[in-house]
Structure 1
Amino acid sequence: MNLLYANDKAGEYPPSYYAATMAPFDRQPPLQGDVAADVCIVGAGYTGLSAALHLAEAGLRVVVLEAHRVGFGASGRNGGQVGSGQRLDQDTLERMVSRAEAAKLWQLAEDAKALVKSLIADHAMPVTFHPGVAHACRTKGEVKAAHHYADRLARDYGYSQLEPLDRNGIRALIGSEAYEGGEIDWGAGHLHPLNYAIGLAKAALAKGAVIHEESAVLELTPGDPVLVKTEGGVVRAGHVLLACNGYLGGLEPKVAAKVMPINNFILATEPLGDRAREVLSKPVAVADSRFVVNYWRLSEDGRLLFGGGESYGYRFPDIVKTVKKPMLQVYPQLSDVKIDYAWGGTLAITVNRLPCFIRPQPNVFSASGYSGHGVALATLAGKMMAKAVQGQAEGFDLMARLPQHRFPGGPSLRQPLLVLAMTWYALRDRLGL
């Protein structure tokens, strides 16, 4: 079964709140015939569209191939949070690499957030960046650790954007009794993810990139040029950039061995009206400290967008049932609220939750596996791959040096082993460990 078609209609966005409120964007024609390009990009999410924009700005001939629609995958379905740092904290990164390399990784993440904001402004995108992401901690120990880490970031990395919250502060912010404290990161933020993808696509098209939707790639043939085959034609390209993330399938086995697709789900309530301030007293996004993270924010029309729950197979479960349970654990007062939208999507994780940057074949680059931290990092990854194609690979190579491991068990066992591990961590969440 192909994840590209397991839960979605060909060439259609999922029935999400984002699709219902998307900015206008004309369908782009499928690939037909034999075409040449300096660079062919597979996937029109943040990574691929950012790469297309930066390559087109440099004057290269760019062709983007997308199996469905622009922003169809995780880029158009996610929680919209633009977080700080890497997926792992700086303490862990310093142990994994070195203090100097960890500092470079922190700066790259800061550059990623700045890039998102500058692209939105420079290209007049149909999306607003809203500052503020809160971290809600379940236990007093987690609160203490979070506040200590905030002090460390201020002291050692010069990052002073974290506002600590005690028990009263977090409850005043989120209107829930479920948490003991936390913090607000005012240097992070949130946005409408599909409209951001559409903004990137429009900017890339304006600079001369070509995008072909409904053009699933069937085969890559190494060589000079690399041949990229779809049902309707072939692109002959000097370089190929793989920007497929959780929808890669078996297109490139060396990437697939290190990047695993998982599914995540979001509900959108009816507009809450005056009750919205009972959910969030400030217009920030929230993520909690569970291993299977709950995350939420208010939409611009006052709906609660609440994400939670994961699955590891091909078919989505009952999404309303899956997500409504954790939503009501946080907000039991919303039991009477109508659910207007429910959707799922496929992201990609790696063993250590750091992105996988790799050159799997000559003249082929790949970046994926953002592990739920991809809005900013995927945008920067696209720019890094664009630079690498032009011979400026410092950023790409820094990320490629991060240790990445194959999922244990090979293709036949990696999914059952992942389910076993995730079930254990989900049990720890339920037990409050």
Structure 2
Amino acid sequence: MFGNHQQKQAEEALDQLTYFNNLLKQAIGEPDIYAVANDKIADFGLAGVSRMIVNRFEGQLNTGKMMRVLLQKVYNAGVLVLNDCSVNQLKPEGSNVQLITSHGDLKATKVILATNAFASQLYPELEVIPGRGQMLVTKPIANLKLNGTYHFNEGYYYFRNIDDRVLFGGGRNINFKAEESYDFGNTESVKQQLVTYLNKMILPNQHVEIDYWWSGIMGFGEDINPIVKQIQPNVFCAVRCNGMGVAMGSLVGENVAELTLSY
């Protein structure tokens, strides 16, 4: 999605449609994955938007249901989940690994570190940079027109409908250094920008109330590929998903599991 002030970026993206469609056709065997969808701008009631490109294979995921199913799966497998238990240090101990935690010491034969940006707090050499993402969810909106998942400003902003509400987040690009933080929370500069876009572009001329604010910490690096490797004997990692953890998390998890079982 491109704003009225992004004519050059829109033209550059349109020039690449054929290239990316051919590239993805080789990967998944389907043609014309990306297409121009300017007619949807008015259909969805957006303002200040000049061009829109649709990816017909992009879908929506209910992350709450995803996590419930994941937890149920691990419970059924007999896995113990310990919440609110910070791991402060990992120490090799013979053929085992000792975990120094906020609730006492634990021992494991093998450890997979899958805490993304927080992995650098234990192993700085991984060079995973934290990036805080700030989000809002509106109160229910009558006759909401939006349907789908949207990205704009080079992907630094993202919104979607969820039931009869709008979920909207982003703004990390306002001040990259300030958002390189391990601290959860919201900043006024990002909140103001999100509210401005919400009221002027996504839901113009509507009275919209915000129900929830929250934040999450992502893990970034100069290389777009995630880090899946052995860090030290019996300790492995699957980190640095570059803001795409939901999309690639299952494959990254499978890769690190296979790597761990090979040792």
Fold similarity call, TM over 0.5: yes
Q: Count residues in correspondence.
A: 247
Query: 1:146 Cα deviation (Å)?
Result: 3.1
Aligned residue identity for 2:150: V
In the other structure, the counterpart of 1:201 is 71
Q: Residues 191-270 of structure 1: matches in 2 within 5 Å?
A: 191-223=61-93, 224-255=95-126, 257=127, 259-270=128-139
Distance 1:383 1:376, change over 3 A: same
Question: Residue 354 of structure 1 is aligned with which of 207, 213, 225?
Answer: 225
CA distance in 2, matches of 1:155, 1:341: 41
In the other structure, the counterpart of 1:296 is 159
In the other structure, the counterpart of 1:74 is none
Query: 1:162 Cα deviation (Å)?
Result: 1.4
Aligned residue identity for 1:284: G
In the other structure, the counterpart of 1:168 is 39
How much identity, in percent, do the aligned residues show?
Answer: 22
CA distance in 2, matches of 1:179, 1:307: 21
In the other structure, the counterpart of 1:404 is none
Query: 1:148 Cα deviation (Å)?
Result: 3.6
In the other structure, the counterpart of 1:400 is none
CA distance in 2, matches of 1:241, 1:152: 34
CA distance in 2, matches of 1:270, 1:197: 23
Q: Residues 277-288 of structure 1: matches in 2 within 5 Å?
A: 277=145, 280=146, 283-288=147-152
In the other structure, the counterpart of 2:175 is none
Q: Which moved more, 1:153-162 or 1:225-234?
A: 153-162
Distance 1:153 1:368, change over 3 A: same
Q: Residues 267-346 of structure 1: matches in 2 within 5 Å?
A: 267-274=136-143, 276-277=144-145, 280=146, 283-288=147-152, 290-291=153-154, 293-300=156-163, 302-310=164-172, 311-313=179-181, 314=183, 316-318=186-188, 320-331=191-202, 333-334=204-205, 336-346=207-217
Stretches of structure 2 that go unaligned for 5 or more consecutive residues are: 173-178
In the other structure, the counterpart of 1:52 is none
* 1:351-382 CA-partner distances (Å, limit 9, x unpaired): 12321223211111111111111113112222
CA distance in 1, matches of 2:192, 2:82: 36
CA distance in 1, matches of 2:219, 2:258: 24
Stretches of structure 1 that go unaligned for 5 or more consecutive residues are: 1-135, 393-433
TM-score normalised to the size of structure 1?
Answer: 0.53
CA distance in 1, matches of 2:115, 2:66: 17
SS at match of 1:215: coil
CA distance in 1, matches of 2:235, 2:82: 19
CA distance in 1, matches of 2:35, 2:41: 9
In the other structure, the counterpart of 1:84 is none
Distance 1:370 1:385, change over 3 A: same
Runs of 4+, deviation exceeding 3 Å:
169-177, 313-316
Distance 1:179 1:312, change over 3 A: farther
* 1:273-306 CA-partner distances (Å, limit 9, x unpaired): 11x11xx2xx321122x23521111112x00111
CA distance in 2, matches of 1:367, 1:174: 41
Write 1 or 2 for the structure with the bigger share of helix.
1
SS at match of 1:190: coil
Q: Residues 16-415 of structure 1: matches in 2 within 5 Å?
A: 136-137=1-2, 138=6, 139-154=10-25, 158-160=29-31, 162-173=33-44, 175-186=46-57, 188-223=58-93, 224-255=95-126, 257=127, 259-274=128-143, 276-277=144-145, 280=146, 283-288=147-152, 290-291=153-154, 293-300=156-163, 302-310=164-172, 311-313=179-181, 314=183, 316-318=186-188, 320-331=191-202, 333-334=204-205, 336-391=207-262
Aligned residue identity for 1:291: E
Query: 1:151 Cα deviation (Å)?
Result: 3.5
CA contact (8 A) 2:229 2:256 kept: no
TM-score normalised to the size of structure 2?
Answer: 0.83
CA distance in 1, matches of 2:113, 2:32: 34
CA distance in 1, matches of 2:138, 2:237: 37
Write 1 or 2 for the structure with the bigger share of strand.
2
Q: Which moved more, 1:312-321 or 1:190-199?
A: 312-321
Query: 1:157 Cα deviation (Å)?
Result: 5.2
CA contact (8 A) 1:147 1:182 kept: no
CA contact (8 A) 2:226 2:239 kept: yes
Query: 1:251 Cα deviation (Å)?
Result: 1.1
